[in-house]
């Protein structure tokens, strides 16, 4: 049983921690489109995403200028059960006075929290942040069916990183030689450090610790995993094969596990904890999509480089992972109806990304570490043309490191665009 003084101390001190970030860091407006007007009564707004992606900061920005109660349930003084949540509410009113605005960080750590939130939602504005999507959606489905709105907050995009660094170039200014050099240098850093802002001030060890927290707290502890060393090794192995095809059966055999379902569950846990995400191979037949190998991408290239030192040498694969992350972010922020896949035929021709809107194949994308047309590999354009013919898609794009052009190959128009330019263009 937590005492009232301990509860109040936890609330006050944790809020001060967040507010100190506003004093010491460059806080930017995020690309996720959610504002105060959309935080209404009758539905909880759930903000999920990786640890340290800025969910608490984002929630504070939503209520800027208004009185609200904030509680971080990861504080060790708040190891409570649902029967004590009313004491937390009393503590908020005692500290803040009467308010109808609440932000609860990681409240899913409290068993039975859903009933408490369900009671608050009809007459209050409630924002919940958490770092595990499946646990939250499963629990919310019971008590808040139809009364919650989900939002995903990702680590910084390259566009957001520019703002964070105080670099605001107009479209014309981007093409000035000195500014283009700055953009390319920052992109090199982005490939290595990723989108967690604190990695730029605290370095690699910060990301190593963050990775450990995600694996230990959000996967092993939350799911009571028995084979701890095996799941650690499996997740690391899966991430080391980023941007490559992988099968459940192969992983099962490598780690001497009894069944595919164990591997499937473990990868889903890692996905629900926002450590990685998967792309299916495209097919018009659902069964073929399900049975085909999947491609795995890290949620952040900084995490990847922190735990797999050789990944920094795989510049082409890192570029592909960056593009995958940005497409995944665009899908969640701006692209309802967008579906992402990769494409591969029976003789091994492969296209990195296939973008589908509703029933239409809208775009095919290849990614290559090429700085001139001499660096381009014939197999990349060959696969793109093969897929274009099969799928009747006209929008063909190859994202390069530093080559820009538009060429007609075998009757197909292919655009070539540098990665930095593609990342800054949201059209």
Q: What is the CA radius of gyration of the chain?
A: 23
Q: What is the pLDDT of residue 141?
A: 59
- Please state the rounded mean pLDDT for residues 146-150: 78
198, with CB counted inside 10 A (0-12, 13-18, 19+), is middle
Q: What is the pLDDT of residue 143?
A: 63
- Separation between Cα atoms, residue 73 and residue 160, nearest integer Å: 28
- Higher per-residue confidence, 141 vs 41: 41
Judge whether residue 135 has pLDDT over 60: no
Nearest to 58 by CA among 130, 7, 133: 130
β-pair type (360-367, 350-357): antiparallel
- Separation between Cα atoms, residue 3 and residue 5, nearest integer Å: 6
Domain 4-152 fold:
Rossmann fold (3.40.50)
- Separation between Cα atoms, residue 259 and residue 263, nearest integer Å: 7
What is the per-residue pLDDT across 236-278, written as a single tens digit (0 to 9) for each?
A: 999 999 999 999 999 999 999 988 999 999 999 999 999 999 9
Kindly state the percentage of the chain with pLDDT values over 70.
96
Whole-number Cα distances in Å, 220 to 262, 299, 372:
14, 18, 46
Q: What is the pLDDT of residue 254?
A: 94
The mean predicted confidence, pLDDT, of the chain is 91
Q: What is the pLDDT of residue 268?
A: 94
Judge whether residue 140 has pLDDT over 70: no
Whether 179 contacts 169, CB under 8 Å = yes
What is the per-residue pLDDT across 279-317, written as a single tens digit (0 to 9) for each?
A: 999 999 999 999 999 999 999 999 999 999 776 668 899
Q: Where are the domains of the chain?
A: 4-152, 199-424
**Helix or strand (DSSP H, E) at 101:** strand 101-105
Going by the DSSP 8-state scheme, the letter that residue 156 receives in this structure is: P
């Amino acid at each position: 049983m937590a005492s009232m003084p301990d509860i109040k101390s936890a609330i006050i001190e944790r809020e001060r921690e967040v507010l100190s970030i506003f004093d010491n860091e460059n806080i930017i407006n995020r690309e996720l489109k959610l504002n105060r007007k959309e935080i209404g009564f009758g539905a909880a707004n759930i903000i999920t995403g990786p640890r340290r992606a800025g969910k608490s900061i984002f929630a504070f920005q939503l209520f800027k200028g208004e009185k609200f109660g904030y509680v971080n349930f990861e504080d060790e003084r708040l190891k409570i059960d649902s029967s004590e949540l009313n004491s937390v509410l009393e503590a908020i009113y005692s500290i803040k006075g009467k308010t109808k605005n609440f932000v609860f960080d990681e409240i899913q750590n409290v068993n039975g929290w859903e009933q408490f939130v369900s009671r608050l939602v009809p007459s209050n504005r409630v924002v919940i942040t958490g770092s595990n999507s499946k646990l939250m959606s499963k629990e919310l489905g019971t008590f808040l069916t139809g009364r919650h709105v989900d939002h995903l907050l990702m680590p910084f995009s390259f566009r957001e990183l520019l703002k964070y660094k105080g670099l605001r170039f107009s479209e014309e200014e981007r093409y000035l030689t000195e500014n283009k050099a700055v953009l390319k240098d920052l992109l090199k850093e982005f490939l290595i450090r990723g989108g967690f802002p604190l990695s730029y001030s605290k370095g690699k060890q910060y990301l190593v610790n963050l990775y450990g927290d995600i694996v230990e707290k959000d996967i092993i502890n939350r799911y009571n995993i028995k084979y701890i060393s095996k799941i650690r090794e499996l997740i690391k192995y899966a991430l080391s094969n980023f941007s490559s095809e992988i099968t459940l059966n192969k992983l099962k055999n490598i780690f001497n596990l009894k069944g595919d379902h164990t591997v499937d569950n473990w990868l889903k846990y890692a996905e629900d904890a926002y450590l990685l995400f998967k792309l299916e191979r495209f097919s018009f037949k659902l069964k073929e999509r399900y049975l085909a190998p999947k491609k795995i991408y890290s949620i952040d290239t900084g995490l990847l480089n922190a735990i797999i030192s050789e990944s920094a040498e795989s510049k082409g694969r890192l570029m592909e992972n960056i593009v995958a992350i940005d497409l995944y972010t665009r899908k969640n922020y701006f692209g309802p109806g967008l579906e992402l896949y990769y494409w591969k035929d029976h003789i091994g021709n492969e296209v990195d990304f296939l973008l589908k809107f509703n029933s239409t194949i809208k775009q095919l994308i290849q990614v290559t570490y090429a700085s001139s047309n001499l660096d381009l590999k014939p197999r990349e354009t060959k696969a793109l043309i093969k897929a274009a013919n099969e799928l009747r898609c006209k929008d063909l794009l190859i994202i390069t490191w530093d080559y820009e052009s538009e060429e007609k190959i075998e009757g197909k128009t292919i655009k070539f665009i540098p990665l930095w330019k593609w990342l800054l263009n949201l059209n």
